[in-house]
Copies of this chain bind each other. A is one copy, B any other.
Amino acid sequence: MKVTIAQINTTNGDIDGNTSRIISAIEEARQQGSDLVVFPELVTHGYTSQDWFQDRDIVERSQDPLQRIIPATKGISAVVGTIRPNPDNDGRRIYNSAAVISDGKLLGYVDKTLLPEYDVFDDPRWFEPNQKERQLFEINGCKVGVVVCEDFWNDKTFWKDRLYETDPADEVIDMGAELVVSINASPYNKGKIKLRCDMVAHRAKANKVPIVFVNLIGGNDGIIFDGASLIADEEGDIILQAAAFSEFVETVEIDCRKPDARGITGSEPSAIHDALVLGIRDYARKNGFERAVLGLSGGIDSTLVAALAAEALGPENLLCVMMPSPFSSEGSVTDSEDLIRNLGCEGRTEPISSAFEVLIDQLNLRKPTKGGESIAAENLQSRLRGVILMAISNAEGRLLLSTGNKSELAVGYCTLYGDTNGGLAVLGDLLKTEVWAVAREFNERAGREIIPNRIIDKKPSAELAPNQFDQDSLPPYELMDPVLELYFEQKLSPKEIVAAGHDPELVYGVLNKVEHPANEFKRQQLPPTLIVSRNAIGVGRRRPITHKYRRTMTAG
């Protein structure tokens, strides 16, 4: 049997457009001689539609896409992620389903059983869990078992900790499935592409059953689906690996016995690069922005955002605004000018000094001095930059990209309504050390020094006071980032982080900063952050502002 991975990019609520894309992919598959074409989870409506799944009109018209898709399957079979109304009066109004279609007929639906409620996922808010008996579908003489996303992700022989007791994929294998089809909306984060390969290969080999695992691709606010779909044969060999971060519609014969790993390319910084470029491009494109603007400080964060945005949108669509103050170093402007020249984008200079002088006098604020107490005047500079960038965004219809990194946002080293302003936080899920790594990777891929090495190598500074450097108020990023990594990614407790060899004072100092209400408050007002980790600030980490949880070294 020939099977097609139809890894497509959908937009929330573009029901007609998504349906047309599904039908064109079925046509591509047919031309490739496919027997079965498999789409990701919820492709008709968009997986990230959130409370739109509670909308009565959407529920009422939920079958519209299938009315167009079913007749388009003459001579071929398809598995399509969609919603199905719950006919009962009790419970959620819809199921998260796979429609199994063959030769112009709907064979049936498979509803999702395990509804994830963690990290960025809130499935139980919208969907009723499956209560039907499982069934297999006969497609081209082959018994096919179909499961939706999480229903594949609970293999007790693969995971150490499990959230659920049942394993729907195991159930269809026990029923005698000769092929397992798993449709997914699994977001990218570091290491996830390899994890999925391992998980799929493990199950295929352990059960001697081929597995077709199809994943969504595309950016949706902060959530980036990487695709990287794959098909494993009954030996656990990967016989088709889709590209990551782009659409992919390709077909393979299940019995071909030829491993194919075209989708696995490059290092993790390279994958992060691709994820961010896709995230910027899709956020702009799906929201109708052609052009973007950002503030270029001469530091590495805004520099990397400029480089990624120029790649995502075209340098001709990017405006970089330099906004020097009396505390800006000379290198800030000249380094920025070098970058603008290298990228070929537009540059503009808008000093903040005049407005700053007016307001600092009027409000009688203490002027910034080296090591002085001048938080109001320091923030004022950042906020005036935010005001200028938003004025340009409003006047020219440009998307404002914000440039803060996760290390800064974690410990609150940022100015709310200042440098946090924007429609999208491009680096909000990258630690500072990751920003440097992706910047180096950027030059390496380009084969030349597009990002001036001087910017990569300079000592981090907010330049809001004379001779101010990040490390006057923060531990060195080289020491802080590993602690943040263990806290966010591994969800280790402070005790465990200390046990892993980190300085106790540093660990408790950093984490008490991260969790302080004054910083939770800032983070609750950030734009969506492009997510590349297992625990991003924002949608994947949900904490109250108001709280008195405090870490103490004695209490652990």
A117-B124, A355-B362 known; A287+B525 contact, CB < 8 A: no
A376 touches B363 (CB 8 A): no
From A47-55, A250-258, A439-447, the one touching the partner chain is A47-55
Report the bound CA distance from A55 to B390 in whole Å.
Answer: 38
A546 touches B11 (CB 8 A): yes
Considering only residues 519-556 of chain A, those with a C-beta below 8 Å from chain B are 521, 524-528, 541-551, 555-556
Chain B residue, CB-CB nearest to A285: B546
Residues of B within 8 A of A423 (CB): 521
Residues of B within 8 A of A74 (CB): none
Residues of B within 8 A of A387 (CB): 359, 380, 383-384, 387, 417
Identify A527's interface contact among B11, B61, B525, CB under 8 A: B525
- Minimal beta-carbon separation of A205 from chain B (angstroms): 24
Residues of B within 8 A of A188 (CB): none
- Minimal beta-carbon separation of A556 from chain B (angstroms): 6
A549 touches B12 (CB 8 A): yes
Chain B residue, CB-CB nearest to A545: B221
Considering only residues 410-435 of chain A, those with a C-beta below 8 Å from chain B are 416-417, 421, 423
Report the bound CA distance from A386 to B387 in whole Å.
Answer: 10
B546 touches A12 (CB 8 A): yes
Identify A394's interface contact among B379, B384, B394, B493, CB under 8 A: B379
Report the bound CA distance from A17 to B162 in whole Å.
Answer: 35
B56 touches A493 (CB 8 A): yes
Residues of B within 8 A of A545 (CB): 221, 287, 528
Residues of B within 8 A of A50 (CB): 542-544
Residues of B within 8 A of A192 (CB): none
Chain B residue, CB-CB nearest to A517: B287
Residues of B within 8 A of A492 (CB): 56
A14 touches B161 (CB 8 A): no
Considering only residues 12-56 of chain A, those with a C-beta below 8 Å from chain B are 12-14, 17, 46, 48-52, 54-56
Q: Is residue A125 within 8 Å, beta carbon to beta carbon, of the partner chain?
A: yes
- Minimal beta-carbon separation of A385 from chain B (angstroms): 11
B48 touches A544 (CB 8 A): yes
Report the bound CA distance from A494 to B549 in whole Å.
Answer: 44
Report the bound CA distance from A390 to B382 in whole Å.
Answer: 12
Task: Tell me how many chains of this kind the complex includes.
Answer: 2
Report the bound CA distance from A264 to B555 in whole Å.
Answer: 43
The contact string, 1 if C-beta is below 8 Å from chain B, for chain A 87-130, is 00111100000000000000000000000011000101100000
- Chain A contact patch, size range: 35 or more
B394 touches A390 (CB 8 A): no
Residues of B within 8 A of A384 (CB): 387
- Minimal beta-carbon separation of A83 from chain B (angstroms): 13
Residues of B within 8 A of A386 (CB): 383, 417
Report the bound CA distance from A148 to B165 in whole Å.
Answer: 24
A55 touches B547 (CB 8 A): no
A359-B388, A390-B417 known; A527+B524 contact, CB < 8 A: yes
Chain B residue, CB-CB nearest to A378: B394
Q: Is residue A499 within 8 Å, beta carbon to beta carbon, of the partner chain?
A: no
Residues of B within 8 A of A61 (CB): 555-556
Chain B residue, CB-CB nearest to A90: B162
Report the bound CA distance from A277 to B375 in whole Å.
Answer: 30
Residues of B within 8 A of A124 (CB): 117, 124
Residues of B within 8 A of A362 (CB): 350, 354-355
B546 touches A286 (CB 8 A): yes
Residues of B within 8 A of A542 (CB): 50-51, 122, 125
Chain B residue, CB-CB nearest to A379: B394
A379 touches B363 (CB 8 A): no
- Minimal beta-carbon separation of A55 from chain B (angstroms): 7
Considering only residues 330-374 of chain A, those with a C-beta below 8 Å from chain B are 350, 354-355, 358-359, 362-363, 365-366
- Pairs A–B under 8 Å by Cβ, sample size 13: A12-B547, A13-B548, A13-B550, A17-B548, A51-B541, A58-B549, A91-B162, A287-B546, A355-B355, A359-B387, A365-B391, A376-B395, A521-B527
Interface residues of A (CB under 8 A from B): 11-14, 17, 46, 48-52, 54-58, 60-61, 89-92, 117-118, 122, 124-125, 161-165, 220-221, 282-283, 286-287, 350, 354-355, 358-359, 362-363, 365-366, 375-377, 379-380, 383-384, 386-388, 390-392, 394-395, 416-417, 421, 423, 491-496, 517, 521, 524-528, 541-551, 555-556
User: Closest 5 A-B residue pairs measured CB to CB?
Assistant: A13-B549, A12-B547, A14-B548, A376-B395, A376-B394
Extra 10 A-B pairs, beta carbons < 8 Å, given A57-B495, A363-B392: A12-B549, A50-B544, A52-B543, A91-B163, A117-B117, A221-B545, A350-B362, A350-B363, A355-B355, A417-B421
